[in-house]
Amino acid sequence: MQSQTNERFGSSVWLEYLPVTQGVASSSLVRTARQRLSDFDSLFCFMSKRMRMIVYPNFKINIGLNIIRKRTDGYHDLQTVFYPVDTICDELEINKIGSGLRLTVQNVENLCADEDNLCVKAFRLLQKHYPIDGVDIRLKKNIPFGAGLGGGSADAAFAIKVYNQLFNLKLTNEQLRQFVSQLGSDTAFFIDNSPAFAQGRGEIMKPINLDLSGYKIEIVKPEFSISTKEAYAGVTPHPSETDLMQSVQQPIEKWKTLIHNDFEDSLFVKYPQLQEMKQKFYDCGALYASLSGSGSAVYGIFRK
């Protein structure tokens, strides 16, 4: 299936075939890395004794995205389902140092200023409330930017969890969610990093029982990216005609007619390649295909 689909997508960037287990998609490469470090909690414990921690921020896909209304604060109320995928991960290493802050980023062509990096913003946010100082941040970006996969949000969430451990702040997950929700609408999702139904700006979440372990997910990102600002500029908010929370509990075979991403309405007109990608997934046998978030990545869910 992968080679056949690769040929049909031509020059688009093929992210990877994503087999799914236990609610989070995994590849043998990622599982091997995780086995070496046991699991996320023991990774924190093991590395923190050495004043150094290495974590692997994953990405997410959106299953459905209903843009309900524009708010007076400029944001939009929405409904979506976040689903974590960890086949492709960024690599984040944070070391405690005497003082100051150093940032090194790899695999990014157009670097933003250090203070605009979300890992740095997360640290500065904690500094306003706690007397912490001295970190060396090394980030290797593997999750593509402008794809609707939440890579930057994941980096911020994983970073603040690392700061919490390295500086022994003893913050709860709820406290961490409150902090990172100031950095992005989907950032709080990556604190618990498990399937969730999201409302508000995306920061109000309710855990849901959604297991795609019986399916495989394939993702393609075109060579262009789409900013969140660009995506929202073309939307017309409206109440949803279906109950997404109820729809996602239906068999996946029914999702095609029940679940919709509202960004597709305008972005498919502006970027016809995206609609073609989605259709190609269905041509290849996908049970459900969709734009992820505000794009530009498109995914398909297949039977194994």
List all residues 6 or more positions away from 28 whose beta carbon is below 8 Å from its beta carbon.
none
* Cα distances (Å, whole numbers) of residue 82 to 70, 171, 186, 190: 21, 24, 9, 10
H helix intervals, the chain:
2-9, 28-36, 40-48, 118-127, 151-166, 173-180, 189-192, 228-233, 244-247, 255-258, 263-270, 272-283
- Interatomic CA distance for residues 145 and 127, integer angstroms: 27
Q: For residue 264, how many other CB atoms are within 10 A of its CB?
A: 17
CA 76: distance to chain centroid?
Answer: 19
Q: Is 60 a catalytic residue?
A: yes
Which residue in 4, 48, 26, 27 sits closest to 168, CA to CA? 48
Choose the catalytic residue: 60, 161, 216, 278.
60
Choose the catalytic residue: 86, 186, 216, 221.
186
Could you list the active site residues? 60, 186
